[in-house]
Amino acid sequence: MDMSIFREYDIRGIFNRNLTKDITFGIGALIGERIQANGEDSIIIGYDARVHSLNLYEWLQDGLTSKGIKVYCIGLIPTPVAYFATCNVIDGISTTNSIMITGSHNPPQYNGFKITLKAKPFYGQDIKELGNQLCATAISYISNFSKTQKIDALSSYQEYLIKHFEKLRNFPYKIVLDYGNGVGSIGMDRILDVLHIQYDSLFATPDGNFPNHHPDPSEEKNLLAIKDYMTKHQIPIGLAFDGDADRIALLSLHHSYKGDELAILFAQEMANKGMKPLVIGEVKCSQIMYDEINKIGKSVMYKTGHSNLKIKLKELNAHLAAEMSGHLFFNDRYFGYDDAIYGALRALELFLTHTPKELENNIKNLPHSYSTPEEKISATEETKFLIIDELYKILQNPPSDFPKILDIITIDGVRVVFENGWGLVRASNTTPVLVTRFEAKNKVNADFYKQKLLALIEEIKNKI
């Protein structure tokens, strides 16, 4: 069995290669045992638009029902609908457990499971232990011919958001949405229609082959179509979604808002309403974000990863958490999980008090810095964490020509604070790569820090 499918935040692999019928059945059976150990007996399952999601649903439900677990099917949905269903009573059904079958923004051959048990992410060591248990257990697929009950979580979710965002009715601007052939339109379009928000949609039909572009709005190349459409039709606001609609990108005609910039805007919105916002960011976020939020509230730096941030958000009872990639977690008026549809509507609220140009200027007037995009360095699953450990050791006594180090933050990887900026190197928890990002007062400083850190990494790679 390929243990690489048991990742930090979810289970994810290639359909019928390392995510097979027997393995999927076994995962269902072992999750069923954990549900029973928690004193519960039911779970909700939804799935995305990938061509093999229904196959995985059948195999997974048979594994669960083999342990006597009641399975409630919520059908083809965005991921946040599954989270919503664990926080609310749906059609008289109340359960704190869910599995979303999704490959998120991975290529079409991938699929996987995002698991919530007792209304908390099932991740990290729990996933690793499940993988080890499955590896040591003789499990083969048995069809249970079990019946599952369908419940309409999507309508409940939409009704909740329609009521919550009534102030957006007759929104003053037309918007355009790029769904990337994911499942975002299934959740979003009805809300926009009921609230009489004018919109155009790109690639709204769910298609697990993703024929138009890769469903990852954190990469600029995947935003070219929506940017061109906005420019051609002079539409001032754009929203782009990832494949399972738990990440969002906001665009205006002259700016693409990064996750940390959105965190600043939302924190300012909260402060304007008399709150002192407590906001959690990840290690890739700009220092400017932390500094700006600290002027009006308090910021906390934490690990990258949606499961990590959800847990930390609840632990600190923070108002908001944000990732550069577009995961946004609202806990001030919402349930604290990452929801691109909810996040998109919160973004539209910003334009009720600011014109698109005013919002652009708000970001433009922040202290200036130069930052590199996220860059990835090839490694292996075996070496990526070893490289980080060795890098930290070397930085305790760096080469004589290395720039002066003010601090080393080891929350997640190594974030090295220099006199005029910082550089980050961390091991990805989902792929065999190192992730880097650099920020400084100017490009010269950023490139210098990048050159010096990457040179050390190259030396380490050559030794390992």
Amino acid at 49: A
Residues 84, 233 share a domain: no
The pLDDT score that the predictor gives to residue 29 is 96
Residues in CB range of 94: below 8 A, 6 or more apart: none
pLDDT at residue 147 tops 80: no
Residues 246, 114 share a domain: no
Round to whole Å and give the CA distance between 446 and 373: 11
Residues 259, 144 share a domain: no
- Average pLDDT, stretch 422-445? 93
- The total number of structural domains in the chain stands at 3
The separation between the first and the last C-alpha atoms of the chain, rounded to the nearest angstrom, is 26
The pLDDT score that the predictor gives to residue 47 is 98
Contact 71/43 with Cβ under 8 angstroms?
Answer: yes
> Which among 120, 152, 184 is the end of a domain?
152
190 is catalytic: no
pLDDT at residue 106 tops 80: yes
What residues make up the domain containing 93? 3-152
Quote the percentage of the chain above a pLDDT of 70: 100
What CATH number does residue 189 fall under?
3.40.120.10
Q: Look at residue 270 and tell me if it is in a domain.
A: yes
Residues 144, 43 share a domain: yes
Q: Look at residue 158 and tell me if it is in a domain.
A: no
69 burial via Cβ count (<10 Å: 0-12, 13-18, 19+): buried
Residues 354, 222 share a domain: yes
- 357's enclosing H/E stretch is helix 356-364
The pLDDT score that the predictor gives to residue 114 is 98
66 is catalytic: no
> Which among 336, 364, 392 is the end of a domain?
364
Q: Look at residue 305 and tell me if it is in a domain.
A: yes
Instruction: Quote the distance between the C-alpha of residue 125 and its chain's center.
Output: 19
- The torsion defined by the Cα of 64, 65, 69 and 72, in degrees rounded to 10, comes to 90
Amino acid at 402: F
Q: Look at residue 123 and tell me if it is in a domain.
A: yes
Bridge partners (DSSP) of residue 302 are: 282
Residues 274, 352 share a domain: yes
- The predicted-structure confidence for 253-310, as pLDDT tens digits, reads as follows 999 999 999 999 999 999 999 999 999 999 999 999 999 999 999 999 999 999 999 9
Q: Look at residue 121 and tell me if it is in a domain.
A: yes
pLDDT at residue 382 tops 90: no
Over the chain, what is the mean pLDDT? 96
Q: Look at residue 386 and tell me if it is in a domain.
A: yes
Residues in CB range of 131: below 8 A, 6 or more apart: 1, 3, 5, 6
Q: CA 122, 408, 313: angle at the middle one, nearest 5?
A: 30
Token pair listed for 305: 């990863």
Q: Which of 7, 12, 247, 437 is catalytic?
A: 12
The pLDDT score that the predictor gives to residue 142 is 86
Residues 402, 350 share a domain: no
Round to whole Å and give the CA distance between 309 and 246: 14
The pLDDT score that the predictor gives to residue 431 is 80
Residues 285, 201 share a domain: yes
Residues 266, 127 share a domain: no
The pLDDT score that the predictor gives to residue 374 is 87
Q: Residue 430 — pLDDT band, cuts 50, 70, 90? A: confident
- Average pLDDT, stretch 206-235? 96
- Average pLDDT, stretch 197-209? 97
The pLDDT score that the predictor gives to residue 45 is 98
The pLDDT score that the predictor gives to residue 397 is 96
Residues 415, 311 share a domain: no
Q: Which of 53, 66, 104, 185 is catalytic?
A: 104
> Which among 124, 152, 180 is the end of a domain?
152
Round to whole Å and give the CA distance between 198 and 373: 33
Round to whole Å and give the CA distance between 209 and 11: 20
Q: Look at residue 78 and tell me if it is in a domain.
A: yes
Residues 307, 271 share a domain: yes
Contact 263/250 with Cβ under 8 angstroms?
Answer: no
pLDDT at residue 146 tops 80: no
Round to whole Å and give the CA distance between 456 and 463: 11
- The predicted-structure confidence for 118-141, as pLDDT tens digits, reads as follows 999 999 999 999 999 999 988 888
104 is catalytic: yes
Q: Look at residue 165 and tell me if it is in a domain.
A: no
Residues 378, 350 share a domain: no
Round to whole Å and give the CA distance between 275 and 454: 42
- The predicted-structure confidence for 233-246, as pLDDT tens digits, reads as follows 999 999 999 999 99
Q: Which of 7, 105, 213, 327 is catalytic?
A: 327
- Average pLDDT, stretch 23-50? 97
Q: Which of 241, 232, 174 is nearest to 204 (CA)?
A: 241
